[in-house]
Amino acid sequence: MHKPSLVFSSSTTKTKASSPQPTISNSKHHQLVPLRKPEHADSSIDGKASFMKEVVSSFPEIKSSKTLGSTKAHSENNRSIITTATPLKNSSKSTNNNSELFNHSFTFESPKKNTTTSSLSSSNDLESSDKKRKLDQASTSSLSSSPGWKTKPSKKLKDTFSSISDEKKPFSHKEVKPKSKKTKFIIGVTGGDFMEKGEVVNIIKKLSKNSEYECVEIGGSDCEKFTHLVCLDEDPKKTLKLIYSIALNIPILKSSWLYESDKASYFVSESEFYITKYLRKRPNGGVLKDKRCFVLRGDNVSFPSPEICERFIELCGGSIVEKITQANIIITTSTSKELEYIIPRHDISSLPIYPVVKMRWIVDVVDKQQLLDTKEYRDEYYYSAECITKEKEILAQTVPSHIACLRLTSTLDCTSQLIPLYADKKVVTLGRAATDVDHVIDTPNSKQNPVISRIHAKIVQIQENNSQNEEKVIRWKLIDSSSNGTFVNNTKVKEAFLMNGDIIAFGHNKANVAVGEKVPFVQTKCIYVFETEEVVNTEDVQKEKEELKKENEKMRQEIQRLRETHIKTAMSNMQKEKEIIRLQNLVLQNQRKDALEFPFNHKLYIIDTNVLVERLHILKNLLEKVNCSCVIPQTVISELDKLKLRKDMCGIKARDAIRFLEESFEKGKYDNLYGQQSHQTLNGMEDGGVQSQSADDHIINCCLYFKDKVLKRKEKNHELILLTYDRNMRIKSGINKIYAPSNFE
């Protein structure tokens, strides 16, 4: 049996009625079936080729290699035309496989016909009328040169004609029609240089005018509106547009799709231009299913922003929680080390309970569509000792002390090591659901052995009046709401008041235990001990506690200071006392009475320690003058005694100063050198001095004594001058009206 072949035959006349008509040659019946030229077909060769393209796509049995040759137009005699009309892309098989990987239907149907009428739409009524017209034309036409033609076509030929339709189109990766005429296609472009992007944009603009779809736009900065993404680079970079497209599961195409569409003057099928490494099957619910993520924010935010990271998490099936204690993955997006949130940690190891990863982790998860190991992406700063110390300091300043708690009895790997109970928190909810409870109590094998319910129990604060007095006492009541039960001291309870030292076990893998029944042991890892103290709401008790705390703190500081002093000094207490007594005796031997008459225009200098150590020659020069005297305070001698123990240059100079003072006092070399006696000072603010809290204050009191008690009784020409290099000392002197020059060399 010979298969029919498709040819064009034309007469030698040039009239309009004698234009070429396509016919079907059947060798069995030796007849030609003329086909009616469609209205939209052009009289030119291009119009015939487009018509032949439609006819060939409707006849799968016709072999174009035998009957169709290359297109030749003989303008002189216009006798015979044989043309080839093959679709640009035939991807019906590959399209069905790839289209299953996408969540939505992104498809171009057919190019916009270049015709003046709009009657050739894709409605069912027009398709059926076109099929009927072709069938009627084939059944009524006959040729005189072909005897034996039957007036009615055979069943096979009738089935062949009935298969003619517009359903097979060369450009549809999913053979479905848009749900409405308002279907919008937005094509995003990523990669490439400026010239390549400009060329691609021009192609999209040109093809959008020739498309059936009036709503074909070029994607801008809003990546979530993309229906297609075209990558201009062979190896696409991880741009924001690419990561968004992977997360949204839209077709990611090569740039050759647009270039081939430009050649065909319409959008060809996308199926052969997919970038294959992005064609992945996705797990049900997304790669981040059951992941509760918390995104840390800060001042120095890197790219992408925290909002974009949260959107990626949602697109991958994860959830965003409001509290950091509810998360099982923490993502950092800031390079700043200023802590705004406290990371939940284990009490024993001080490591975070859940992984703390960098922002790169979520980007790679979206790119590879796999749940990646968090160890390679963890933020090392939140695992460092510096961060742990800083968090402890913040907690000590901000978190109030709890009045009761549930403490884990062992080092078992349980989520919450400590459950604090505060006075201002009336109800505390415990359970496995992080989004519904205040504290999560769970173990790693909870999914295999689910002994903890989502909302397992509550601890309620109850205030009761004391029967003996009017004071109120806080008590804690445990209310169980689980299926596996809660045990207090190995007894299953529904409600129970907790006492200090009670053992509380949450969950038991044997559900047949009745309320009130006691078991030898509870098979669970969530076992806590209840710790509390009686809290009495009276002001006197609170004040007494505060005073005791202050006294204890002072004693602790004093003990610490004594320990540090004992460690720093090399001499024993006995040696220090002997040395101080010896120096004081030398000073007392050379002292004069307060009633000592100073000469006229006399100046009295009070010498500080730093002057003796740094500029001893200044004291020597002053002692050689006639109208001046120098006083060495006892505090200065004590400070020199401490400084001489040092092994640096300061210790050497301090020993030289002590040696000079010792020789001067023993030999009586200078009559104008004095030492402060024990009574030559002011005792705090009561005597008109300052409160002695430091060595500087003792020197100031010494100056005030000589100024007010000694020089005040003398002539006004007498002057007291404090010599010191200490700027803070000079400020204090100015406040107390003591002259202390800054430059006295």
**Rounded average pLDDT over 665-677:** 85
State CA 38 to chain mean position distance: 63
Q: Are residues 498 and 516 in the same domain?
A: yes
Structure tokens at 67: 């009957």
Mean pLDDT over the full length of the chain: 71
Give the domain CATH number at 612. Answer: 3.40.50.1010
Q: Are residues 322 and 431 in the same domain?
A: no
Collapse the DSSP code of 457 into the 3-class scheme (helix H, G, I; strand E, B; otherwise coil) and give the result. strand
Residue 60 lies in a domain: yes
Last residue of a domain, one of 230, 254, 281: 281
Residue 549 lies in a domain: no
Residue 452 lies in a domain: yes
Query: Do residues 160 and 61 make contact, with C-beta atoms less than 8 angstroms apart?
Result: yes
State residue 57's pLDDT score: 44
State residue 626's pLDDT score: 66
State residue 737's pLDDT score: 87
- Domain extent, residue 71, equals 5-81
Query: Do residues 510 and 521 make contact, with C-beta atoms less than 8 angstroms apart?
Result: no
Identify the CA nearest to 160 among candidates 51, 7, 4, 2.
4
Residue 211: CB atoms within 10 A of its CB come to 19
Residue 208 has pLDDT above 70, yes or no: yes
Number of domains in the chain: 5
Structure tokens at 658: 């002590």
Q: Are residues 46 and 191 in the same domain?
A: no
Residue 270 lies in a domain: yes
User: Using 50, 70 and 90 to split pLDDT, how confident is the model at 323?
Assistant: confident
Structure tokens at 544: 């007494």
Q: Are residues 390 and 420 in the same domain?
A: no
Bridge partners, residue 546, by sequence: none
Give the domain CATH number at 464. Answer: 2.60.200.20
Measured distance CA(187)–CA(225) in Å, rounded: 9
Residue 550 lies in a domain: no
- Is 322 or 4 the better-scoring residue by pLDDT? 322
What does 662-730 look like in DSSP terms, one character per residue? HHHHHHT--TTEEE--TTSS--GGGGTS----SHHHHHHHHHHHIIIIIGGGS-TT-EEEEE---HHHH
Q: Are residues 320 and 239 in the same domain?
A: no
Collapse the DSSP code of 503 into the 3-class scheme (helix H, G, I; strand E, B; otherwise coil) and give the result. strand
Residue 574 lies in a domain: no
Q: Are residues 731 and 695 in the same domain?
A: yes
Q: Are residues 305 and 359 in the same domain?
A: yes
State residue 413's pLDDT score: 56
Residue 567 has pLDDT above 60, yes or no: yes
Give the domain CATH number at 339. Answer: 3.40.50.10190
Among 105-114, 309-318, 545-554, 629-638, which stretch is predicted with the lowest mean pLDDT? 105-114
How far, CA to CA in Å, does 518 sit from each of 11, 490, 699?
109, 6, 75
State residue 62's pLDDT score: 37
503-506 β-sheet, strand order: 418-421, 404-408, 527-532, 503-506, 486-488, 491-493
Q: Are residues 392 and 404 in the same domain?
A: no
In sign, the C-alpha dihedral spanning 128, 134, 140, 146 is negative
Last residue of a domain, one of 505, 537, 569: 537
Residue 67 lies in a domain: yes
End-to-end Cα distance, the chain: 129
Residue 76 has pLDDT above 50, yes or no: no
**Rounded average pLDDT over 618-637:** 86
**CA dihedral in degrees (28, 29, 31, 32; nearest 10)?**
-50
Q: Are residues 515 and 440 in the same domain?
A: yes
**Rounded average pLDDT over 419-430:** 85
User: Using 50, 70 and 90 to split pLDDT, how confident is the model at 24?
Assistant: very low
Query: Do residues 266 and 210 make contact, with C-beta atoms less than 8 angstroms apart?
Result: yes
Q: What is the pLDDT of residues 463-513, one digit of tens each?
A: 887 666 666 778 889 999 988 889 998 899 999 999 888 888 888 766 678
- The single residue listed with the structure tokens 């003996």 is 468
Q: Are residues 407 and 392 in the same domain?
A: no
Q: Are residues 192 and 261 in the same domain?
A: yes
Measured distance CA(355)–CA(318) in Å, rounded: 15
State residue 566's pLDDT score: 72
Identify the CA nearest to 61 among candidates 21, 5, 23.
5
Q: Are residues 105 and 217 in the same domain?
A: yes
- Is 139 or 576 the better-scoring residue by pLDDT? 576
Residue 543 lies in a domain: no
Residue 457: CB atoms within 10 A of its CB come to 23
**Rounded average pLDDT over 8-17:** 35
Last residue of a domain, one of 377, 397, 417: 397
State residue 559's pLDDT score: 79
Measured distance CA(174)–CA(168) in Å, rounded: 11
